[in-house]
Amino acid sequence: MAEIDNSSALDEVITEAGEGAASPPPPHQSLTGKPLNRTLITFSSMAATIMQALDSTIANVALPRMQGTLSATQDQMSWVLTSYIIAAAIMIPLTGWLAGRFGRKKVFLISIVGFTVSSALCGIATSLPEIVIFRLLQGMSGAALVPLSQALLFDINPPENHGKAMAMWGVGVTLGPVLGPLLGGWLTENYSWNWVFFINVPIGIIAFLGLSASMPETRPHNQPFDFTGFISLSLFMGALQLCLDRGELKDWFSSPEIILEALVSMTALYTFLVHSLTHRHPFVSLKLFADANFLTANVFIFLIGAVLFATLALVPPMLQNDMNYPVMMSGIVTAPRGAGTMLSMMVVGRLVGRYDPRLIIATGLGLMAFSLWQMMGFNLLMDQNLIVISGILQGFGIGLAYVPVSTVAFATLDPALRNEGTAFFNLQRNIGSAIGISIVQTLLTRNTQFMHERLGEHITPWHTGIPLYGSVFTDPDRATDLLSLNQSITGQASMIAYLDDYKLMLWLTLVLIPLLVIIKPPVRRAGPPEPAVME
């Protein structure tokens, strides 16, 4: 079995048996002499990952039903989503320190318990304040699940199997948000919105039992806690998420609330950067940024997250609002996107160790760009074929790009920094998705208004090309025809705005390809390959 070069990783791993081993093995081996049950560890950690990833989108489709049950306004209901996002954003950076200070297994299991219990509490909530508080707890406890599962899969597998491990991890991270709306719509339609949260309970129990029985523990260490760094980073993330979440609702910088949130966010970021550069033990270790691969991969995951989640935020509303698709049908039509991701994950895990990861990433980005080019051809009269085909290609491309980016990010990083590195890596993905969604939603609203005005300029009583020529503007009995005409103009303006958003994401994807020259391919290690089948 291949050895890990960096000896600092050897101090990280210890099992429940104690610290008595004189010469500890690499992280992917067990200190007890018993082989790691990688299958059970992988299955259990993936269950926790999927559970958390599903909750990023599964509750969205249930909001209208929840609004009626809880007697809340649409603005108030937005806090059900905002509270979860803000709590997760603040707690993700803390994951690395907590795992290092108290042990990864303890933090992982406590997070699963907290997420499962808070999910059950969300399901039985009877008022808006209750569900907002429980969603806050859900976001706080679930923030650690994805980065810790990624770090765990790295440590239980030898370097030559990291590609396969990241393929498994990527399935949960990318499929969860895609399948969330479909599963949420089905549960809401056939049962009730409460089951959107109750579905986490059995998954959480399975993940907890599996990991408590099989997961090795890491050695805690007395790393000093940078309180100033944590507070400033938390203020930055919280204020940024509030600004992005509520900006469109409040008309951005015409609102004093948004101006205040932006100022707090920028001030906190400045404080965090200055403090981190001058403190002996900063909250986020500067050693992370000395690794060129890790730094470049974070740029990639930031923009890939923006494209992935922005598309998820655009396509379902387009189908439901402009093309009159029912909620379930829109979920069914977009589900093949997840199938494309699943298929690519099955393929890419075997390719990462054999071919230059930059070539695989370039192929994935190329497929993503081609699918976005196809989406620029959407129109109100199209059938489902183009939606399905472009979705499958985009899903396949995301899988091809996501896995090698995740692998390359940690290929040359000190294994002792994995807890902190995976937390920062996932934080960048979350920030990218938040900014991407905010930008495309803002552009969608403004471009729809602009195009409605431009198209409306050509609709006059003297325009003989209009079938309802003349009398539709003057005859009171034809007022419904005038409303129908306005609705048609609005639909066309909205579709043009969607196409402009797809074009923007196409350019973002193409911009990433030249950056591949910065990435250094991982050095292949000598020795026989690790068997592909986990123990």
435-471 as b/e, with b when 16 or more CB fall inside 10 Å? Answer: bbbbbbbbbbeebbeebbeeeeeebeeeeeeeeeeee
Question: Greater confidence, 177 or 48?
Answer: 48
Helix 327-351 × helix 292-317 angle, to 10°: 160
Instruction: Tell me which DSSP letter residue 18 carries.
Output: B
What pLDDT score does 115 carry? Answer: 93
pLDDT at 114 over 90: yes
Cα Rg for the chain, rounded, in angstroms? 25
Q: How sure is the predictor about 527, in pLDDT bands with cuts at 50, 70 and 90?
A: very low
Question: Greater confidence, 463 or 347?
Answer: 347
CB atoms within 10 A of CB 305: 23
Provide the residue count of the chain: 535
**Alpha-carbon torsion (254, 255, 258, 261), positive or negative:** positive
pLDDT at 479 over 90: no
Query: 18 — phi, psi (to 5°)?
Result: 125, -165
Distance of alpha carbon 241 from alpha carbon 233, whole angstroms: 12
251: alpha, beta or left, given left = phi > 0 and alpha = psi -120 to 50? left
pLDDT at 5 over 50: no
Query: 57 — phi, psi (to 5°)?
Result: -135, -15
What pLDDT score does 208 carry? Answer: 92
Residues pairing with 13 in the sheet? 218
Q: What is the mean pLDDT of residues 359-386?
A: 89
What pLDDT score does 189 carry? Answer: 77
Q: Provide the percentage of residues in the chain whose pLDDT is more than 70.
A: 85
Distances (CA, A) of 375 to 344, 372, 382: 20, 5, 11
Q: What is the mean pLDDT of residues 354-381?
A: 88
What pLDDT score does 118 carry? Answer: 92
Q: Are 521 and 357 in contact (CB under 8 A)?
A: yes
Q: Provide the percentage of residues in the chain whose pLDDT is more than 90.
A: 9
Segment 188-241, tens digit of pLDDT: 878 888 888 898 899 999 999 988 888 887 777 777 788 888 888 888 888 887
> Identity (one letter) of the amino acid at 361?
I
Instruction: Tell me which DSSP letter residue 323 carries.
Output: S
Q: Which of 299, 149, 270, 251 is nearest to 210 (CA)?
A: 149
Q: For the chain, how far is it from start to end, CA to CA, in angstroms?
A: 13
What pLDDT score does 474 carry? Answer: 55
CB atoms within 10 A of CB 56: 23
Q: What is the mean pLDDT of residues 461-475?
A: 54
**Alpha-carbon torsion (184, 190, 195, 199), positive or negative:** negative
Instruction: Tell me which DSSP letter residue 269 carries.
Output: H
Q: What is the mean pLDDT of residues 359-377?
A: 91
What pLDDT score does 471 carry? Answer: 54
pLDDT at 468 over 90: no
What pLDDT score does 79 carry? Answer: 76
Average pLDDT over the chain reads 78
**Which element (helix H / strand E) includes 277?**
helix 256-278
Q: How sure is the predictor about 148, in pLDDT bands with cuts at 50, 70 and 90?
A: confident
Q: Is the pTM of this model over 0.75?
A: no
What pLDDT score does 121 carry? Answer: 92
Q: How sure is the predictor about 110, in pLDDT bands with cuts at 50, 70 and 90?
A: very high
What pLDDT score does 74 carry? Answer: 63
What pLDDT score does 10 carry? Answer: 32
Q: Is 13 helix (H, G, I), strand (E, B) or coil?
A: strand
What pLDDT score does 535 carry? Answer: 37
Distance of alpha carbon 395 from alpha carbon 374, whole angstroms: 13
Q: How sure is the predictor about 28, in pLDDT bands with cuts at 50, 70 and 90?
A: low
Q: What is the mean pLDDT of residues 242-253?
A: 79
Contacts of residues 63-69 at CB distance under 8 Å and 24 or more positions apart, as own/partner, are 65/188, 65/192, 65/193, 66/131, 66/193, 69/193
Q: How sure is the predictor about 370, in pLDDT bands with cuts at 50, 70 and 90?
A: very high
What pLDDT score does 33 carry? Answer: 40
Q: How sure is the predictor about 307, in pLDDT bands with cuts at 50, 70 and 90?
A: confident
Question: Greater confidence, 408 or 479?
Answer: 408
CB atoms within 10 A of CB 289: 13
CB atoms within 10 A of CB 239: 21
Q: Are 213 and 40 in contact (CB under 8 A)?
A: yes
351-363 as b/e, with b when 16 or more CB fall inside 10 Å? Answer: bbbeeebbebbbb
**Alpha-carbon torsion (136, 269, 313, 498), positive or negative:** positive
Distance of alpha carbon 482 from alpha carbon 493, whole angstroms: 17
Segment 387-434, tens digit of pLDDT: 899 988 988 888 888 888 888 888 788 877 877 888 888 888 878 887
What pLDDT score does 513 carry? Answer: 86
Q: What is the mean pLDDT of residues 276-304?
A: 83
Q: What is the mean pLDDT of residues 53-74?
A: 75
What pLDDT score does 266 carry? Answer: 92
Q: What is the mean pLDDT of residues 527-532?
A: 38
CA 170 to chain centre: 11
pLDDT at 187 over 50: yes
Q: How sure is the predictor about 436, in pLDDT bands with cuts at 50, 70 and 90?
A: confident
Q: Are 95 and 237 in contact (CB under 8 A)?
A: no
Q: How sure is the predictor about 379, in pLDDT bands with cuts at 50, 70 and 90?
A: confident
User: Hey, what domains does the chain have and what are their CATH numbers?
Assistant: 7-225+283-449+494-518 (1.20.1250.20)
**Two tokens, residue 160:** 């030559």
Distance of alpha carbon 189 from alpha carbon 66, whole angstroms: 12
pLDDT at 35 over 70: no
Question: Greater confidence, 484 or 100?
Answer: 100
Q: What is the mean pLDDT of residues 509-520?
A: 83
Distance of alpha carbon 515 from alpha carbon 405, whole angstroms: 12
Tokens 């050509």 label which residue? 458
pLDDT at 517 over 50: yes
**Two tokens, residue 341:** 């991701």
